[in-house]
């Protein structure tokens, strides 16, 4: 590993006037360029590295040191980063990474993040162009997803937070208004909470739904039991008949159905619920229709895949991430809400120190802090804005299509290999398979660990129909057939060795 060292002496030391700016800007500049070169070199040469490597005890131990009261040279801290942090990250930037659902990021996104950090904008509110950038991205999302002008959007950490925001808005709508101020009715639940609330709200999603929806129900005070999990039918999609039946039964039992979640790209298999069918049902039943499109919704950018998302344009709210299929560096989640006024009413709260004006810095209302729980907010919009402008949505769409083509390639190769078995239909970009063995669960768990620890590929595992499956989620724009061929070759090698050696653990 090469570490470019700055030739300067102390440059980050605290000068006598107590500003934290460098004493020697020239030296700082050289060191900063060396840091930039190092991270670009990392991205350029990713393929030569292991995808992931286990963290040696002595490296882990380094992170148990004392609070650093005294200064250290920037160059020395950077070297520490290069030697002890960079090599031991998860590796999701690497083309061989296929675990969970994680995006690879881009050099453009990294540069935008650097600019945002330099600007140090706080996007909670106030009259500033960074908020216009966020509004512009919101406008682009309205156009891409077919939402009306009245729709509002907000950057958040990720889809977990976006889903939570959707649950809160839908909950408040379902529990109704109170008219303490006749001109400005407000949501009753915002003042009273759920105390004395007669309605027992229930939400609906398929058994394939992401766990963060249950968490959102919990955090919204409704409880995870109030989330009804409807069996997924063929192709892991929600069974609409069962959904309708359960809603009817709940109503008959005196409960108040309020929220239905359709998933566009389930976390386990990439299945897409029948969003148009769900939208119809929600309209008939007067229920809030939310789409969790964490990774799948950006398939709208791929003309060959967009028709699969039909119905997404009818959602009351849509949660998704730019940091998955959008390849924007972490984190960049987003919530789009059809009725922006309901969105604002669920979160806006008056505070004297956040008073609005029509001129000056306090102009530009409503502010992003009126649409979510966060007041301090980073300039996430900038890396998305850069990514979409520099690459264009068509190129992002092509990388999305390509990950699905690669998944079909992997599916074909598995079908041709008698020792392997496909565990679920390949809907988008996720391939679940296993090595055939008598004690298949143990063997496949061991294979996944071997693949990760050897640094050759990094799939994750899941349980499908009660059995362990190796799961390759091809999200990264850098992944190619080379990495998939390596995944299969190493899987076979590990599987054969494990069968030969019986019950022993596989050592990479
Ligand atoms: C379908 C689905 N929903 C929600 C999430 C959570 O998203 P985040 O990790 O951005 O909070 C994920 C993550 O993979 C997901 O696949």
Which tens digits make up the pLDDT trace of 194-233?
988 899 999 999 999 999 999 999 999 999 999 999 999 8
Ligand 1 atom showing the smallest separation from residue 163 Cα? 4
- Residue 267, ligand 1, Cβ within 6 A: yes
Residue 387: predicted pLDDT: 98
Are the C-beta atoms of 462 and 471 separated by less than 8 Å? Answer: yes
- Residue 321, ligand 1, Cβ within 6 A: yes
Residue 504: predicted pLDDT: 62
Give yes or no for residue 183 having a pLDDT over 90. no
Q: What is the pLDDT of residues 244-269, one digit of tens each?
A: 999 999 999 999 999 999 999 999 99
Residue 505: predicted pLDDT: 61
Q: How far apart are CA 407 and CA 316, in angstroms?
A: 31
Residue 13: predicted pLDDT: 53
Average pLDDT, the chain: 94
Ligand 1 atom showing the smallest separation from residue 295 Cα? 16
Indicate the top mutation candidate among 99, 166, 210 to test ligand 1's pocket, ranked by most ligand atoms within 8 A of CB: 210
Residue 255: predicted pLDDT: 98
Residue 508: predicted pLDDT: 52
CA-based nearest residue to 466, from 441, 483, 488: 441
Q: Looking up tokens 């922006």, which residue turns up?
A: 340
- 98 bridge partner residues: 459
Q: What is the pLDDT of residues 279-300, one digit of tens each?
A: 999 999 999 999 999 999 999 9
- Residue 269, ligand 1, Cβ within 6 A: no
Are the C-beta atoms of 272 and 308 separated by less than 8 Å? Answer: yes
Indicate the top mutation candidate among 295, 328, 331, 462 to test ligand 1's pocket, ranked by most ligand atoms within 8 A of CB: 295
Ligand 1 atom showing the smallest separation from residue 267 Cα? 16
Name the closest-CA residue to atom 10, ligand 1.
158
Are the C-beta atoms of 292 and 319 separated by less than 8 Å? Answer: yes
Give yes or no for residue 316 having a pLDDT over 90. yes
Q: How far apart are CA 239 and CA 206, in angstroms?
A: 8
Name the closest-CA residue to atom 12, ligand 1.
294
Burial of 111 (0-12, 13-18, 19+ CB in 10 A): middle
- Residue 101, ligand 1, Cβ within 6 A: yes
Phi, psi of 314 (to 5 degrees): -100, 0
Q: How far apart are CA 439 and CA 433, in angstroms?
A: 15
- Residue 263, ligand 1, Cβ within 6 A: yes
Of the chain, the percentage scoring pLDDT greater than 70 comes to: 95
Are the C-beta atoms of 261 and 204 separated by less than 8 Å? Answer: yes
Which ranges constitute the DSSP H helices of 203-297? 211-219, 240-252, 275-285
CA-based nearest residue to 287, from 248, 325, 322, 320: 248
3-class secondary structure, 461 = strand
C-alpha distances (whole Å) from 300 to each of 146, 236, 271, 409 are 10, 21, 15, 22
Phi, psi of 187 (to 5 degrees): -65, 130
Indicate the top mutation candidate among 101, 213, 334 to test ligand 1's pocket, ranked by most ligand atoms within 8 A of CB: 101
SS3 per residue for 324-377: CCCCCCCCCEEEEECCHHHHHHHHCCCCHHHCCCCCCCCCCCCCHHHCCCCCCC
Are the C-beta atoms of 442 and 506 separated by less than 8 Å? Answer: no
Least confident of 190-194, 214-218, 388-392: 190-194
Which ranges constitute the DSSP H helices of 63-124? 74-80, 107-119
Ligand 1 atom showing the smallest separation from residue 266 Cα? 1
Residue 7: predicted pLDDT: 40
- Residue 208, ligand 1, Cβ within 6 A: no
| Angle between helices 380-391 and 107-119 in degrees, nearest 10 | 140
Distance 7 CA to ligand 1 centre (A): 44
Mean pLDDT of 348-375: 93
State pTM to two decimals. Answer: 0.94
Q: How far apart are CA 193 and CA 196, in angstroms?
A: 9
Q: What is the pLDDT of residues 120-153, one digit of tens each?
A: 999 999 999 999 999 999 999 999 999 999 999 9
Q: What is the pLDDT of residues 452-485, one digit of tens each?
A: 999 999 999 999 999 999 999 999 999 999 999 9
Residue 481: predicted pLDDT: 98
Residue 80: predicted pLDDT: 98
> What is the band of 12 on the pLDDT scale with cuts at 50, 70, 90?
low
At 346, list the tokens. 């669920």
> What is the band of 352 on the pLDDT scale with cuts at 50, 70, 90?
confident
What counts of helices (H) and strands (E) characterise the chain? 15, 14
C-alpha distances (whole Å) from 420 to each of 203, 269, 416, 434 are 38, 17, 8, 6
Q: How far apart are CA 294 and CA 162, in angstroms?
A: 9
Give yes or no for residue 5 having a pLDDT over 50. no
Distance 495 CA to ligand 1 centre (A): 30
- Residue 167, ligand 1, Cβ within 6 A: no
Mean pLDDT of 483-503: 93
At 446, list the tokens. 């061991």
Q: Looking up tokens 């007041």, which residue turns up?
A: 375
**Residue 159: how many other CB atoms lie within 10 Å:** 27
Beta-carbon contacts of residue 127 (< 8 Å; ≥ 6 apart): 360, 361, 362, 363, 364
- Residue 270, ligand 1, Cβ within 6 A: no
- Residue 160, ligand 1, Cβ within 6 A: yes
Residue 135: predicted pLDDT: 98
Distance 400 CA to ligand 1 centre (A): 17
C-alpha distances (whole Å) from 184 to each of 69, 178, 181, 351 are 52, 9, 5, 16
Residue 380: predicted pLDDT: 98
Name the closest-CA residue to atom 7, ligand 1.
159
| Angle between helices 240-252 and 275-285 in degrees, nearest 10 | 20
Residue 3: predicted pLDDT: 39
Give yes or no for residue 506 having a pLDDT over 90. no
C-alpha distances (whole Å) from 438 to each of 28, 225, 422 are 60, 37, 16
3-class secondary structure, 446 = helix
Are the C-beta atoms of 299 and 324 separated by less than 8 Å? Answer: no
Q: What is the pLDDT of residues 62-106, one digit of tens each?
A: 999 999 999 999 999 999 999 999 999 999 999 999 999 999 999
CA-based nearest residue to 435, from 424, 425, 448, 426: 448
- Residue 247, ligand 1, Cβ within 6 A: no
Are the C-beta atoms of 297 and 276 separated by less than 8 Å? Answer: no
Give yes or no for residue 53 having a pLDDT over 50. yes
Residue 15: predicted pLDDT: 53
- Residue 216, ligand 1, Cβ within 6 A: no
Are the C-beta atoms of 418 and 485 separated by less than 8 Å? Answer: no
Mean pLDDT of 328-333: 98
> What is the band of 235 on the pLDDT scale with cuts at 50, 70, 90?
confident
Q: How far apart are CA 494 and CA 376, in angstroms?
A: 48
> What is the band of 156 on the pLDDT scale with cuts at 50, 70, 90?
very high
Mean pLDDT of 183-198: 88
Are the C-beta atoms of 102 and 39 separated by less than 8 Å? Answer: no
Q: Looking up tokens 């298949």, which residue turns up?
A: 440
Positive or negative, the CA dihedral 424, 427, 430, 431 is positive
- Residue 158, ligand 1, Cβ within 6 A: yes
Q: How far apart are the first and last CA of the chain?
A: 23
């Amino acid at each position: 590993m090469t570490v470019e060292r700055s030739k300067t002496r102390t440059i980050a030391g605290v000068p006598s006037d107590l500003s934290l700016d460098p004493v020697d800007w020239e030296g700082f500049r050289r060191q900063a360029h060396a840091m930039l070169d190092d991270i670009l070199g990392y991205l350029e040469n990713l393929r030569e590295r292991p995808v992931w490597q286990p963290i040696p005890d002595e490296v882990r131990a380094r992170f148990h040191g004392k609070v650093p009261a005294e200064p250290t040279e920037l160059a020395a801290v950077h070297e520490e980063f290069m030697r002890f942090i960079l090599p031991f990250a998860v590796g999701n930037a690497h083309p061989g990474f296929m675990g969970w659902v994680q995006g690879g990021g881009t050099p453009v996104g990294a540069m935008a993040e650097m600019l945002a950090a330099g600007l140090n904008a706080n996007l909670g509110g106030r009259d500033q162009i960074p908020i216009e950038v966020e509004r512009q991205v919101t406008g682009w999302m309205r156009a891409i997803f077919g939402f009306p002008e009245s729709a509002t959007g907000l950057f958040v950490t990720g889809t977990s937070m976006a889903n939570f925001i959707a649950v809160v808005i839908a909950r408040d709508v379902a529990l109704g208004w109170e008219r303490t101020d006749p001109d400005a009715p407000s949501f009753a639940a915002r003042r009273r909470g759920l105390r004395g609330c007669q309605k027992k709200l229930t939400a609906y999603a398929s058994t394939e739904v992401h766990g963060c929806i249950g968490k959102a129900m919990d955090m919204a005070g409704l409880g995870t039991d109030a989330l009804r999990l409807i069996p997924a039918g063929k192709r892991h999609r929600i069974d609409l008949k069962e959904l309708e039946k359960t809603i009817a039964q709940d109503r008959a039992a005196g409960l108040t159905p309020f929220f239905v979640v359709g998933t566009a790209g389930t976390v386990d298999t990439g299945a897409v619920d029948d969003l148009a069918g769900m939208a119809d049902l929600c309209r008939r039943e007067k229920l809030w229709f939310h789409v969790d499109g964490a990774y799948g919704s950006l398939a709208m950018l791929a003309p060959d895949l967009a028709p699969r998302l039909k119905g997404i344009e009818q959602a009351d709210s849509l949660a998704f991430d730019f940091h998955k299929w959008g390849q924007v560096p972490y984190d960049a989640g987003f919530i789009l809400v059809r009725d922006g006024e309901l969105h604002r009413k669920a979160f806006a709260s008056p505070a004297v120190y956040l008073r609005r004006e029509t001129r000056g810095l306090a102009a530009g209302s409503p502010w992003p802090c009126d649409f979510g729980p966060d007041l301090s907010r980073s300039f996430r919009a900038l890396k998305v804005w850069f990514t979409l402008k520099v690459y264009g949505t068509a190129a992002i769409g092509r990388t999305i299509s390509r990950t699905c083509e690669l998944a079909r390639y992997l599916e074909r190769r598995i079908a041709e290999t008698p020792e392997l078995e496909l565990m679920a239909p390949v809907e988008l970009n996720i391939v679940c398979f296993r090595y055939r063995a008598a004690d298949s669960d143990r063997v496949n768990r061991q294979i996944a660990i071997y693949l990760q620890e050897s640094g050759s590929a990094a799939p994750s595992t899941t349980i499908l129909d009660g059995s362990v499956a190796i799961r390759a989620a091809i999200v990264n724009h850098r992944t190619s057939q080379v990495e998939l061929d390596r995944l299969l070759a190493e899987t076979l090698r590990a599987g054969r060795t494990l069968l030969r050696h019986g019950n022993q653990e596989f050592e990479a």
